[in-house]
A = this chain, B = another copy of it.
């Protein structure tokens, strides 16, 4: 695949997933311990007993966060959370993290302590150990790269590729709030830059800010599924937006889907603020991203086991591949889903 390197293809023409797809083709797993490689929330390896899961996420200043409105302690917390969320999305239990950071001389020890305090708070809260890392310097911003390890019994692991026709599509919590929190922070930053004496106006929007700045991985939902005796047929966490994630499930399961606009769980605050910003709340829910909720599919026979759970919404069902991926809106129009969520490489 790498033989003809005379051409120049802009990365922006592929996007992150295009690039990953492209690069993955050259990768072949050789070790019997490597059970699952690229293409899911976490890799799966075999170290003898339980299966071991590995996932990594990199957060780059100016791309993933803005220190003007991301307090370092929250950033540390969130950087752990996005990785744990990937382990939970495999129906596994996170156990360890290793943390690599690069920082410029803008950062004092106290700043790094704040960052780590947030990381350690997250680790404590989720019973995860920080077992190693690398600390180095950068010429410009802060870069945080975290790898999380988790374990699961082989039978418990839920991949993205197991969705069956007629399975119900479920999502935890509500969607679009983290995105609206970000819009709010950006607006207040703009106001501040124009007039530093104006105090930011966040009143009444704590929920949206918290969803953006201090998300929680849905460990509780994994426990709830277990308690209710439900093993999803496919699962993924929502980091890039619902539309993008359901399409990952459909692509890997070789299926289609129908989502019902009327069923999308959107908090009233998200709805109101989206309107205030002249945004369509449904688009925010579909493409906002950073929700860190779990999106999963279950067999219809499991419906009764989850129907009364307040924090789980059934938002659609899986169809045949040929039927494609659609949203049925409130006026019964079908629109093809597009993954317009967060794509770091498209923002070039």
Binding site for B on A (CB under 8 A): 1-2, 5-14, 16, 19-20, 22-23, 26-27, 29-31, 33-34, 36-38, 42-43, 45, 47-52, 54-58, 60-64, 95-96, 98-105, 107-110, 112-114, 116-117, 120, 124, 127-141, 143, 145, 147, 149, 151, 344-345, 347-348
Contacting residue for A102 out of B42, B60, B347, CB 8 A = B60
Across-interface contacts of A37 in B (CB, < 8 A): 129-132
Contacts of A110 in B (CB 8 A): 5-9
Q: Is the CB of A58 within 8 A of B134?
A: yes
Given contacts A96-B43, A109-B10, A136-B63, whether A26 and B116 have CB atoms under 8 Å apart is yes
CA distance A95 to B50 in the complex (A): 16
Cβ–Cβ contact A30 & B129, under 8 A: yes
Residues A43 and B131 in contact, CB atoms below 8 Å apart: yes
Which residues of the other chain, B, contact A60 by a CB distance below 8 angstroms? 102, 136-139, 143
Residues in B neighbouring A347, C-beta threshold 8 A: 137
B56→A133 contact, CB < 8 A: yes
Judge whether A47 and B52 touch: CB under 8 Å: yes
Contact among B19, B27, B112 for A130, CB-based, below 8 A: B27
What residues on B are CB-neighbors of A49 within 8 Å?
Answer: 47-49
Q: A105: which B residues are within 8 A, CB to CB?
A: 10-12, 348
Q: Is the CB of B9 within 8 A of A98?
A: no
Residues of A contacting B: mostly: mixed
Most B Cβ at <10 Å: residue of A34, A120, A133: A133
Task: State A22–B115 Cα separation when bound (angstroms).
Answer: 13
- Whether A141 contacts B139 by the Cβ 8 Å rule is yes
CA distance A165 to B301 in the complex (A): 67
Tell me whether B137 and A63 are in contact (CB under 8 A).
yes
- In the complex, besides A31-B95, A37-B129, 9 extra interface pairs with C-beta distance below 8 angstroms are A5-B110, A26-B120, A27-B129, A36-B131, A47-B47, A47-B48, A47-B151, A60-B136, A63-B137
Cα A98 to Cα B41 in complex, Å, equals: 12
Chain B residues near A116 (CB-CB < 8 A): 2, 23, 26
Max chain B C-beta neighbours (<10 A), residue from A10, A47, A149: A47
